[in-house]
Structure 1
């Protein structure tokens, strides 16, 4: 009798396990299931992302939700069929600017290598859903889009794309753009040519870019959805749309309508002016150039300053002085080929707003300790009448606790290895050291000036970036460094607000 009860209990338990497994399998293979508790956390992440997306009218939120849901379905389809893709164009702009969907966007843009199109064409024949459909242009093999035709009866209402992933219910889509590992207009390819990827620019002209800007692809989170990003998103956005699109939105909401913003127009003027004067600027050196105290109201620095919020009448002069200081450092670094990268609050400013934090009163960069001797050599030259480079006499001693200050030499600091100082205002750039912990890690100061180590590939290779429109060097993974040092909230939220004409820290944090 006991044996029969044991068998019965085991039988019931086995049935329960099999039933549960069957539900899991059904949920995984049916993208249109209605079991919200089995859907991956991506669904709830989308809802969380929507809370941070601004809206301009009553149509925006339903459109945003449907568009992200469509993208989510694409990612599941691509994962199931092992389709290689990466976010591009306006979708990539959204990722760079805000980590997800642009609030006014009406579609999703992806890029796929041309050689994957035959496989997509086969997949398009599958009847995998009653809501979603993959449509591939019948003439996808014709590279010149002017020689393609529309096939509206087959839902092919495009010629420049190779395909679309359609949401038939909400009339939304994911655009599939084509990328080539050769230039379609080139008749010859030489072995010495660097590897490139060619695709349309925003004017539908062929544009080539270094292959390493795209590959290797990396996983990233886009409005709560795990997707594939190119290796260097900011370089791609800057190359196609200009530096202003890295951190400045093109639109704003006016009377329940998305319109082009004045901030974007001003930033665009700044970019055009900077491009116009770039050749002349590269010929200038700090030895022959003194920074004027009063800039023209149309100078690049003043246009950049106009983009920074103010809290009181002292802010604007401070912003201008700090940016002039940073511009002078940038020119000196270019002249002497100095390798450095933004850190601490300056890096937070770059990640949050691609420039100066409105309340900041100093700047921070890091350099490899072995490069300090080069700074010492520069400091002994008469390179400028407006700026001074001070190097700590004990720079080769690791740790501020083992150093002394030398006020008689104008060195009132012990933690930085050096300071780049504006002689008139006394504002400065702290130059902090980094050490090779081992082959894989760097050792640097954390915000509390304790030592911390992190992977070298978070810093190297250094990348050119624009900080309040000033050409600088940034670490390879700025967001990872900011998140590790200051926490995930520092990626998007300032810890300081303007209250009654004063910048006030609103949350306790590291200094």
Structure 2
């Protein structure tokens, strides 16, 4: 990223965070209105615990909703969210190849890395909503192996291809691997049942990060930027699962956001 873009993002970061906070507040209201469980995840939860809100250099928001509650959330959000907020998934925005839900603010704009910007999908600032589920009753080592192999195949299949003989061979090989590991994953439930671990579904990029269900449930409230939102029951264990010594600040050079470019108000 060039210096001008870095300076632009730095100048507009707080305004973008506050725009994302408004999206988050609207999602929270939909979930409370419809008894849909959700909780802050990843850097958003870390920000709440360590900073009382956003990590100062962070520019995205992540929450989790159980997989079985995602359809209810999508339907309720379509009806209850303000008109400028858009519920984005493969059904509502077919040109955007994601396997989870985003809620976007159509009055803003963001360029994300690793996405085909030429496609006409909605590009507003957003909140990521990751579906989570029970993992099968197999060892954590086996779960991590599934995750490693599945994520590798998923990455290869979703990157840009030049359609050479090599890329075509990769496409078929990793397509088979992806189907094979997903079949094994599903059969694990059949033979071993549900276990005591909880995590992202296989098609999410963080598939394989796992928590004990008792670490998450029952949910509780936490203050985030002056408002009350939902979080895991044991934030300390949850964050250690993700980050280890999460209270240790990263080096200065790693205090950067995720996006390439954003503006919080298209009228500017």
Q: TM-score range by the shorter chain?
A: 0.5 to 0.7
Give the structure 1 partner of residue 198 of structure 2: 197
- Aligned-residue CA RMSD (Å): 3.0
**1:19-168 maps to which residues of 2 (within 5 A)?**
57-126=10-79, 128-138=81-91, 151-152=94-95, 157-161=96-100, 163-168=101-106
Work out whether residues 64 and 103 of structure 1, in 8 Å CA contact, stay in contact via their aligned partners in 2: no
Rounded to whole Å, the distance in 2 between the matches of 1:75 and 1:102 is: 20
Residue deviations 1:103-125, cap 9 Å, x none? 22222100010101221232254
The 3 A distance-change label for structure 1 pair 128 and 74 is closer
Runs of 4+ in 1 over 4 A off after TM superposition: 189-194, 200-203
Give the structure 2 partner of residue 180 of structure 1: 133
Give the structure 2 partner of residue 241 of structure 1: 243
Rounded to whole Å, the distance in 1 between the matches of 2:25 and 2:74 is: 21
The 3 A distance-change label for structure 1 pair 249 and 168 is farther
The 3 A distance-change label for structure 1 pair 99 and 134 is same
Work out whether residues 97 and 248 of structure 1, in 8 Å CA contact, stay in contact via their aligned partners in 2: no
Rounded to whole Å, the distance in 2 between the matches of 1:188 and 1:81 is: 32
TM-score (norm 1): 0.33
Give the structure 2 partner of residue 212 of structure 1: 214
SS at match of 1:77: helix
Rounded to whole Å, the distance in 2 between the matches of 1:168 and 1:61 is: 18
| Structure 1, unaligned runs of 5 or more | 1-55, 140-149, 253-258, 262-511
1:70 deviation in Å? 2.0
1:238 deviation in Å? 1.7
TM-score (norm 2): 0.59
SS at match of 2:23: helix
Rounded to whole Å, the distance in 2 between the matches of 1:135 and 1:182 is: 26
The 3 A distance-change label for structure 1 pair 228 and 130 is same
SS at match of 1:180: strand
Residue deviations 1:45-84, cap 9 Å, x none? xxxxxxxxxxx93212212221222222222222223221
1:250 deviation in Å? 3.0
Of structures 1 and 2, the larger Rg is shown by 1
Work out whether residues 108 and 174 of structure 1, in 8 Å CA contact, stay in contact via their aligned partners in 2: yes
Kindly indicate which of the two structures has a greater share of residues assigned to helix: 2
User: How many aligned residue pairs are there?
Assistant: 184
1:203 deviation in Å? 5.5
SS at match of 2:28: helix
| Structure 2, unaligned runs of 5 or more | 1-8, 109-123, 137-181, 256-268
Give the structure 1 partner of residue 6 of structure 2: none
Rounded to whole Å, the distance in 2 between the matches of 1:203 and 1:125 is: 25
SS at match of 2:10: coil
Work out whether residues 85 and 103 of structure 2, in 8 Å CA contact, stay in contact via their aligned partners in 1: yes
- Higher RCO (C-alpha under 8 Å, 6+ residues apart): 2
Rounded to whole Å, the distance in 2 between the matches of 1:224 and 1:209 is: 27
Work out whether residues 167 and 173 of structure 1, in 8 Å CA contact, stay in contact via their aligned partners in 2: yes
Work out whether residues 199 and 207 of structure 2, in 8 Å CA contact, stay in contact via their aligned partners in 1: no
